[in-house]
A = this chain, B = another copy of it.
Amino acid sequence: MVATGATPRFPSIPGQNVDGIYCLRNVVDAIHIKNFIRQRNATRAVLVGAGLISLEMCEAFRRLGLETTVVYRKDLPMRRLGEDFARQILTEIQSNGVNFMGDTDVQGFESRESGTIIVNTSNGALESDLVVLGLGVVPEVSLASEAGIDLGPTGAIAVNEYMHTNFPFIYAAGDCCESFHRISRKPVYAPLGDIANKQGRIAGTNIGGQKAVFPGIVGSMCFKVFNLEVASTGLTLEEAKKVGFQADSFTIQGVSKAHSYPNSRELRIRLVADTEAGRFLGAQSVGGDGVVSRINALAVALTGGLSLEELAYVDLAYAPPFSGAWDPIHIAAQQLLK
């Protein structure tokens, strides 16, 4: 059983070994970062990258009162979700006091006598007490690779639906291996905790002599950043086109509860579908509340192969504290059907 996980991407940047530069991969890393902040009375943090880890760390650092800067090589965080949603996420972190430096490459780190770290970037130098690199992870496949186990197109270990590698008695599971994406019908690399858990259980069941199949993923993810919920499932419009679907999308702005209900918050949802075939392909959503709830319903819709027509009239539980009589899912599906 190969369960070697993943390691943080750690590109070779001059000075990357100076004191106070961290990755966040596990609880031990978190404790180190927390202790460092306390011991050094850190007041400034730089996050490199703008993925899940960086965005979640923004919130943690701001809560600790740190001056927080995100340095990112692209123009917007979470661009995959579309420019509109990416801008909303940017606005959310900025309005919570995070500095965002987009289109910026980190070129090197220097350490000062005082402990201050100089972060040299393509847009000038920053001073910080602490740097966290959130540049994603790469599958840890060196052992598997040396042993002759096949890697897939993503660079992670190739497995079949039983979590079986190309070797008769060798299984793999978790962040070191690929997952089958049920919508694109392609192997993908999706190093997420819930998927690792599922794969581990399937591999263990098969190793134990029973037969279990991992049905693959539909690409669901979510996170919370300050007061915003962000979630997505299936394919984005861009991804759907790339895979070869005749894809279209429609984005609506709705509310999380009934309009008349107190504390109803704005949420935006984009549905992606092959409108010719009436096939639902994916959804992205950003908002104050009820975002993950909708995306989970839509993740199940992708799993069950619901058509756009079925989504437009799906029987969701309705009461004003939870939605309008027409849920944003219905409204978006009906708009996309037009």
Task: State the A residues within 8 Å of B (CB).
Answer: 182, 192-198, 202, 214-224, 229, 231-233, 290, 292-293, 295-301, 303-306, 309-310, 313-319, 321-322, 325-327, 330
Contact = CB atoms under 8 A, between A and B. Distances in A.
Nearest to A233: B317
Given A293-B296, A301-B304, A303-B306, A315 B217 contact: yes
A292 to B, nearest CB: 5
Given A231-B317, A296-B316, A325 B193 contact: yes
Contact of A221 (B182, B223, B317, B327): B317
A315 to B, nearest CB: 4
Question: What is the oligomeric copy number?
Answer: 2
30 contacts: A195-B315, A196-B325, A197-B325, A215-B309, A217-B315, A220-B315, A221-B317, A221-B318, A222-B322, A223-B321, A224-B319, A224-B322, A229-B322, A231-B317, A232-B317, A233-B317, A292-B293, A292-B319, A293-B293, A296-B296, A296-B297, A296-B317, A297-B299, A298-B300, A299-B315, A300-B314, A303-B304, A303-B314, A303-B315, A304-B306
A316 B194 contact: yes
Q: Is the interface of A mostly helix, strand, loop or mixed?
A: mixed
A222 B310 CA distance: 21
Contacts of A196: 325
